[in-house]
Amino acid sequence: MTLKEEFQTRNFSIYGQWLGILSMIICFAVGIANIFAFLTHPLIIVFCALALVSAFLILFIEVPLLLRICPTSSTFDAAIRRISTNYLRAAAYAVMAVLQFLSTLDANTSLIAAGVFLALTAICYLLAAIKGQAFVGSKTLGGQGVAQMIV
């Protein structure tokens, strides 16, 4: 299945997965960019660290192939594998979005962009769950069948 065919399935979990990848990139970028605001707003460093942690968590959540090839602990693998349903993914992204939105209490920074994209991802996964769509991982990102081909 090509990327175009995946988007034509109208499955919101595919949209959520790709928005999750975009959220990961944005969390990493704004997390690094705002670290240098520590002189004027020291509390922003905490939210930058949370954005960077979110980026790495999203990487393992959305690209399941990495759990097989990266040396991680069994407890970390089990925790990431628990986030497998659309409802749990929506909840995880909603929590990450709220954490980024809380950064505006100290100062308005570009961390809000991470919060917006994390919220959009949560909405996509929630819509998939409400519509009863099963989670379908993108084959481009290491979904079903790709991990078995490598091992």
If you average pLDDT over every residue of the chain, what do you get? 83
Each residue's pLDDT tens digit, 67-101: 778 788 888 888 888 888 889 999 999 999 999 99
Q: Please tell me the distance from the alpha carbon of residue 126 to that of residue 146, in angstroms, as a whole number.
A: 26
Q: Which residues of 91-126 are buried (b: 16+ CB within 10 A; e: fewer)?
A: bbbbebbebbbebeebeebebebbbebbbbbbbbbb
> Count of CB atoms within 10 A of residue 82's CB?
10
Q: Indicate the pTM of the whole model.
A: 0.83
Q: pLDDT tens digits, residue range 3-31?
A: 565 556 677 888 888 899 999 999 999 99
CA atoms within 13 A on the CB side of 95: 11
Question: Which range (13-17, 134-138, 141-145) has the least confidence?
Answer: 141-145
Binning pLDDT at 50, 70 and 90, where does residue 151 land?
very low
Say how far apart CA 126 and CA 86 lie, in whole Å: 6
Question: Using CA atoms, how far apart are residues 90 and 96, in angstroms rounded to an integer?
Answer: 10
